[in-house]
Chains A and B, each alone.
Chain A
Amino acid sequence: MAVLQIREAINQAIAEEMERDPGVFIMGEEVAQYNGAYKVTQGLWKKYGDKRVIDTPITEAGFAGIGIGAAMTGIGVRPIVEMMTWNFAILAFDQIMNHAAKARYMSSGQFKVPIVFRGPNGPAHMLGAQHSQALESMVAHVPGLIVMTPSTPYDAKGMLKAAIRDDNPVIFMESELMYGIKGEVPDEEYLIPIGKGDIKRDGSDVTIIAWTKMVAVALKAAEELQKEGINAEVIDPRTIRPLDEELILESVRKTNRCVIVEDSWPFASVGTEIAHRIHTKAFDDLDAPVEKINAADIPMPYAENLEHEAMPNAEKVITAVKKVMYR
């Protein structure tokens, strides 16, 4: 097994799928000659050239729509659209929400939209309010979209390959701060199915649910809690929509307590939906209401101390765990 950074694992997934299927191409800002703003597409332009690795103008709505249109024709074209960050993809939300998500339904199934929109999501470090937003709940809100959020190199590769092969629009949300994180990735091919979550740490006392960057926060909290004799299970749904509800409910039925960690805002967040499902479907198993740790309900400030204060961290998770355990 090779040890890869997340950016390398994603790069491999793209390269392998391009190799496998000549209909797969990637476009976005700086993906070709610059090798990607975060070097995710390193070497792809050199290998596949202008036809399949395409630098776009800074026109998110336009190239998102061109991707959707290309995917919809049904003649074997499968675009991967890189969004330099999801903050900028907001410009393309009309294309994604009004067009990609609805084409199949409105046409009563005539269209398929096999496209992946991918890029980093969520706050990084001191980038200020317009560049530090975790937007998964905005896309997860929309029927017709699939939303995936990997947290390890292994997951990123297997999930992205599944996303590229899927016939639906997939929103694939990475993290700037995680691109350098390393992990083992098998040499042989594998796919991680859409909608399949993962237990990142086995435990029995409390379930902590987290995805992308927050998985590391949850694991750190779990380690600290272990020192106090609290054995936390960490669940990573990996796909936000469709949600691996069974995995979550199973864990909560075992632990009877749950804390959700997300770096998005609290109002109408993905965690809100997960908590609701747990409350309605595992109510009798719960020993305490589900707790949620979110980023502060504010646009992200620039100053380092304020940003730190606004973000979820292990201490906050530990406090929440103790709350649901009445400790």
Chain B
Amino acid sequence: MKEEKKKAKLARWVDLNLSNEKLIKMYRDMLHIRRFEERAAQEYGKGKIGGFCHLYIGQEATGVGAISALREDDFIYTAYRDHGLALARGMESKGCMAELFGKATGVSKGIGGSMHFYDLAKGFMGGWGIVGGHPPLAAGSAFATKYQGRDSVTICFMGEASTNQGVFHETLNMAQLWKLPVIFICENNGYGMGTAISRAMAGEHLFEKAAGYEMARGAVNGMDVIEMYREMSVAINRARTEMLPTFIEARTYRYRGHSMSDPGQYRTKEEIEEYKKRDPVETFGKELIAEGILKETDLEAMDELIKQEVQEAVEFADASPQPSLDVLHNNIYA
């Protein structure tokens, strides 16, 4: 096991055709999410952001690894923990922060809020608040692209707790039955709100839920952006060329509470610290240095630039106007 790891470490991504530029971008995207979310937490504390606010901190590698493997004409669905994935898809800090602030310049023009980020042009289909509600929509997107003869794929992030919902199983069944090019990425962060998965799910092997539908499936270390990318590449290829779905369990962890209002007393400090030792951002940064792709000073400079970008986003959001009252009744119908 140890040997294998060592061998892989020398060039563990050589098989993936990843340019240095791409590797650096993956690191940058993760750091960007981290800094954006840290700042969002601060702004929430100041009362600039309202409602629920679910942070993605700790789970960056899952989203960035998966989304980095996509093409521009692919589609992404997720639940309410959506800020990080939106940023990974290239949605701008400014529009994302402004949405959190409930401003007209937000990605959903202040109508959606934290849980409902959308950018159709980028294939970012949101941002959904009902646990288990969106997986069939993602399968529907795959249905549509296949129907129109396109080779786009759809990826669907979901929390592990949502896999207990009936509609999740209905969706997996149809996705396999109808051979839909959709990839379900179950971000298993161990907890649905305050409930450890072991208290809510019968059976131990989450990804084997897909076995009942004879769907391609597996678990991956979701704290490792390269492993995530690798598994996704296989799944994407299967979806594009064979029109077949995949279920991936990405094992990850959220550092913060379920949402900003959750003190998180259901888990120990030690547990959180244990995961932080495998921090996806830090680990990958170190690896890029070890591989000679970046220097420590590059990381620092990048961090500065990102912080600057996030600062500008906050200023932009703050200075932006609230939506006009005139829009209240817009967009109820097409």
Contact call B328/A128, Cβ cutoff below 8 A = no
What residues of A have a CB within 8 angstroms of the CB of B195 in the complex? Answer: 29-30, 33-34, 55, 57
CA distance A24 to B45 in the complex (A): 40
What residues of B have a CB within 8 angstroms of the CB of A90 in the complex? Answer: 130
Contact call B111/A306, Cβ cutoff below 8 A = yes
Contact call A303/B323, Cβ cutoff below 8 A = yes
Confirm or deny: B20 has a beta carbon within 8 angstroms of a beta carbon on chain A: no
CA distance A87 to B131 in the complex (A): 11
Interface SS, A side: loop
Contact call B200/A34, Cβ cutoff below 8 A = no
If A34-B193, A298-B328 touch, whether A129 touches B166 (CB-CB below 8 Å) is no
Contact call B166/A62, Cβ cutoff below 8 A = yes
What residues of A have a CB within 8 angstroms of the CB of B116 in the complex? Answer: 128-130, 302
Confirm or deny: A73 has a beta carbon within 8 angstroms of a beta carbon on chain B: no
CA distance A304 to B113 in the complex (A): 10
CB distance from B47 to the nearest CB of A (A): 10
Interface SS, B side: loop
What residues of B have a CB within 8 angstroms of the CB of A30 in the complex? Answer: 193-195
Confirm or deny: A141 has a beta carbon within 8 angstroms of a beta carbon on chain B: no
Contact call B165/A58, Cβ cutoff below 8 A = yes
Contact residue among A57, A129, A310 (Cβ-Cβ distance under 8 Å from B164): A57
Interface size class of B (residues with CB under 8 A): 35 or more
Which residue of chain A has the shortest Cβ distance to B329 in the bound complex? A298
| Interface residues contributed by chain A, number (CB under 8 Å) | 35
CA distance A305 to B321 in the complex (A): 11
Confirm or deny: A177 has a beta carbon within 8 angstroms of a beta carbon on chain B: no
Most chain B beta carbons < 10 A, residue from A33, A61, A299, A306: A306
Contact call A58/B323, Cβ cutoff below 8 A = no
Q: How many A-B residue pairs have CB under 8 A?
A: 123
Over the window 29-54 of chain A, the binary record of Cβ atoms lying under 8 Å from chain B Cβ atoms (1 yes, 0 no) is 11001100100000000000000000
Over the window 301-327 of chain A, the binary record of Cβ atoms lying under 8 Å from chain B Cβ atoms (1 yes, 0 no) is 111111001100000000000000000
Contact residue among A56, A304, A310 (Cβ-Cβ distance under 8 Å from B102): A304
CA distance A34 to B193 in the complex (A): 9
Confirm or deny: B322 has a beta carbon within 8 angstroms of a beta carbon on chain A: yes
Contact call A128/B200, Cβ cutoff below 8 A = no
Contact call A131/B52, Cβ cutoff below 8 A = yes
Contact call A125/B51, Cβ cutoff below 8 A = yes
CA distance A37 to B52 in the complex (A): 13
If A91-B165, A301-B111 touch, whether A306 touches B325 (CB-CB below 8 Å) is yes
CA distance A29 to B162 in the complex (A): 12
CA distance A57 to B192 in the complex (A): 9
CA distance A131 to B129 in the complex (A): 7
CA distance A212 to B220 in the complex (A): 48
What residues of B have a CB within 8 angstroms of the CB of A55 in the complex? Answer: 195, 199-200
Contact call B103/A59, Cβ cutoff below 8 A = no
Contact residue among B110, B111, B161 (Cβ-Cβ distance under 8 Å from A58): B161
Contact call A59/B164, Cβ cutoff below 8 A = yes
CA distance A57 to B163 in the complex (A): 10
**Contact residues of B with A, CB < 8 Å?**
50-52, 99, 102-104, 108, 110-116, 128-133, 161-162, 164-167, 192-195, 199-201, 266, 322-323, 325, 327-329, 332
- For this complex, 20 residue pairs linking A to B, each with C-beta atoms less than 8 Å apart, are A29-B193, A34-B194, A57-B195, A58-B131, A59-B165, A61-B166, A88-B131, A91-B130, A91-B165, A125-B50, A126-B51, A128-B116, A129-B112, A130-B116, A303-B102, A303-B104, A303-B111, A303-B322, A305-B102, A306-B323
**Contact residues of A with B, CB < 8 Å?**
29-30, 33-34, 37, 55-59, 61-62, 87-88, 90-91, 125-131, 296-299, 301-306, 309-310
